[in-house]
């Protein structure tokens, strides 16, 4: 056992893994961006609440026998973005992600709204010195995030902004898109751009693991590194009440956790984010615990890289 102290005084938690450990393979960064959300709220509170929830999760997975107790995670702190627009936040986020990606095998961003994904992708490209057309983006999201950018950057258009930046559509895979949550125009944009799209219905029909394999296989053929955006509103609203864009009929939390572990095992995945968690809407800490378990599953996936 990693911690031989009496468990009457506490257990070895996921929070115990985080610290000032610049040589660690994994880094964690809070990105509390809340401005310019299409649904007004307090996504900027997400990173702080996630941190407060981590002590409630053990570092041991009884189902697989995996113990994360020896996994070190460098805690890079939180960026100061609470009153910053996506435009003003772009450079600080891009720079921070670029710096982390040069020093760590996986960089984990806790948002914050979905506008952090664009500077996250560009920071990954810059940090690793990879041309943008060699970078892949995988999203687990109820929405395409292909709204027009003529009225500025928001949490509803990071994918459109990345297309405008020059990210090829064939380098993008989107999973979990839901009926009556998107427009025909957005769907046509995705088709025209060559984006790999799998809907919520396809997940229900084929299973999350199969859909993920298809998406990752598609990206692997085109890119050298992959950035993954986990928008928590892909989960059914009853299991993620603190996700303002979540709807009934979405992904189960259990499938979300399984996807996180499967994705984090993939060695081309070098950065991930969790977005659209609004603690002000949460009920009984349900979404906070989902977010914390997501982080645990990401770390489990990283630990499993050692055996493949």
Q: What is the Cα–Cα distance from 173 to 170, expressed in whole angstroms?
A: 8
In a domain, 197, yes or no: yes
The C-alpha angle with vertex 270 and arms to 268 and 273, in degrees rounded to 5, equals: 125
Q: What is the Cα–Cα distance from 294 to 253, expressed in whole angstroms?
A: 9
φ and ψ of 22, to 5 deg: -60, -15
**Could you tell me if residue 33 is left (phi over 0), alpha (psi between -120 and 50 degrees) or otherwise beta?**
beta
pLDDT in tens, 286-301: 999 999 999 999 999 9
In a domain, 265, yes or no: yes
pLDDT of residue 5: 66
In a domain, 1, yes or no: no
Contact 45/280 with Cβ under 8 angstroms?
yes
pLDDT at 20 over 50: yes
In a domain, 6, yes or no: no
Query: CA torsion, points 202, 208, 209, 212, in degrees to nearest 10?
Result: 70
pLDDT at 1 over 50: no
pTM of the model: 0.95
CATH at residue 116: 3.40.800.10
Question: Domain total for the chain?
Answer: 1
Domain with 240, as residue range(s), is 14-307
Q: What letter would DSSP give residue 246? A: -
pLDDT in tens, 217-276: 999 999 999 999 999 999 999 999 999 999 999 999 999 999 999 999 999 999 999 999
pLDDT of residue 84: 82
Q: Considering only CA atoms, which of 215, 203, 38, 207 is closest in space to residue 137?
A: 215
In a domain, 98, yes or no: yes
Mean pLDDT of 102-106: 97
Contact 190/146 with Cβ under 8 angstroms?
yes
Instruction: Report residue 180's pLDDT band, with 50, 70 and 90 as the boundaries.
Output: very high
In a domain, 284, yes or no: yes
Q: Considering only CA atoms, which of 258, 277, 259, 270 is closest in space to residue 140?
A: 259
């Amino acid at each position: 056992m990693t911690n031989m102290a009496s468990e009457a005084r506490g257990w070895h938690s996921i929070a115990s893994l985080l610290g000032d450990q610049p040589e660690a393979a994994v880094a964690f960064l809070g990105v509390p961006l809340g401005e310019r959300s299409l649904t007004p709220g307090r996504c900027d509170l997400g990173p702080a609440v996630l941190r407060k929830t981590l002590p409630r999760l053990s570092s041991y997975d009884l189902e697989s026998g995996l113990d994360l107790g020896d996994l070190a995670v460098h805690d890079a702190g939180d960026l100061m973005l609470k009153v910053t627009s996506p435009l003003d936040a772009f450079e600080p986020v891009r720079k921070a992600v670029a710096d982390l990606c040069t020093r760590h095998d996986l960089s984990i961003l806790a948002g914050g709204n979905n506008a952090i994904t664009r500077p996250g992708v560009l920071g990954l490209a810059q940090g690793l010195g990879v041309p943008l057309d060699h970078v892949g983006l995988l999203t687990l999201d109820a929405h395409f995030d292909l709204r027009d950018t003529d009225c500025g950057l928001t949490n509803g258009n990071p994918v459109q902004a990345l297309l405008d930046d020059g990210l090829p559509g064939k380098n993008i895979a989107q999973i979990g898109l839901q009926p009556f949550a998107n427009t025909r125009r957005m769907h046509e944009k995705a088709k025209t751009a060559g984006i790999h799209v799998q809907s919520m219905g396809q997940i229900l029909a084929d299973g999350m693991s199969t859909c993920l394999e298809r998406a990752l296989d598609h990206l692997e053929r085109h890119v050298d590194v992959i950035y993954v955006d986990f928008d928590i509103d892909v989960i059914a609203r009853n299991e993620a009440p603190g996700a303002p864009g979540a709807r009934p009929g979405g992904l189960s939390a259990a499938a979300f956790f399984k996807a996180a572990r499967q994705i984090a095992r993939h060695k081309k995945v070098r950065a991930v984010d969790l977005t659209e968690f609004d603690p002000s809407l949460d009920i009984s800490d349900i979404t906070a615990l989902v977010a914390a378990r997501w982080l645990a599953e990401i770390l489990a996936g990283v630990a499993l890289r050692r055996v493949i």
